[in-house]
Amino acid sequence: APSKAPQSLYDEIGGAPTIEAITENFINEVSFNETIYRYFEKTNITRFREKFNEHLCVTTGGPCTYTGDTMLRVHQGKNINEADFNTTVDLLVNAMEKAGLTYPQQNQVLKVLAPMRDEMLYK
Ligand code: HEM
């Protein structure tokens, strides 16, 4: 039998509805975390939702184009420290958990995001 092409993580987790659920959960998590919410006080949430969603779609191998700014540019001037970065990752993990991703699926996402860390810290 012909072998099937490997499914992307995007397809495996349920595609667009799941990505949208993660984004929505993440926004919710941030809004309940005083320390991290502080960074987002002046943020246009409509834009953030759209760009974060696209970014997550691309991160999971989905059929999207990211139209936002680079991670460096977006987080520049915020002087994000390691503790706050780690807290934000925890919030993202909660968001993925609540969207039904398994532990290995969550780790796959974090593995793709990990190299972007240096573009965000202390800029
Ligand atoms: C875990 C890795 C992270 C990813 C993948 C990520 C991704 C993104 C994306 C895609 C945007 C939207 C870009 C755009 O509008 O063009 C954004 C915006 C933003 N991010 Fe992150 N981010 C991460 C970590 C963080 C952390 C650790 C903080 C702060 C503690 C943070 C604070 C912000 C803020 C405040 C904005 C809105 C920018 C603004 O209002 O000017 N992000 N991020």
29: domain CATH number is 1.10.490.10
> Does residue 62 sit within a domain?
yes
Q: What is the mean pLDDT of residues 93-109?
A: 98
Does residue 45 have a pLDDT over 80?
Answer: yes
CA of 9: how far to CAs of 56, 73, 115, 116, in Å? Answer: 11, 27, 18, 19
With cut-offs at 50, 70 and 90, classify the pLDDT of residue 6: confident
Binding site per annotation, positions: 75
Residues at CB less than 6 angstroms from ligand 1:
36, 39-40, 43, 47-48, 51-52, 55, 68-69, 74-75, 80, 84-85, 88-89, 92, 113, 120
> Does residue 2 sit within a domain?
no
> Does residue 4 sit within a domain?
no
pTM, full prediction: 0.95
Domain extent for 89: 9-120
> Does residue 20 sit within a domain?
yes
Measured between its terminal Cα atoms, the distance across the chain in Å is 52
> Does residue 3 sit within a domain?
no
- Residue 35 corresponds to which amino acid? T
**9-31 per-position pLDDT tens digit:** 999 999 999 999 999 999 999 99
> Does residue 50 sit within a domain?
yes
> Does residue 105 sit within a domain?
yes
Number of domains composing the chain: 1
Does residue 1 have a pLDDT over 70?
Answer: no
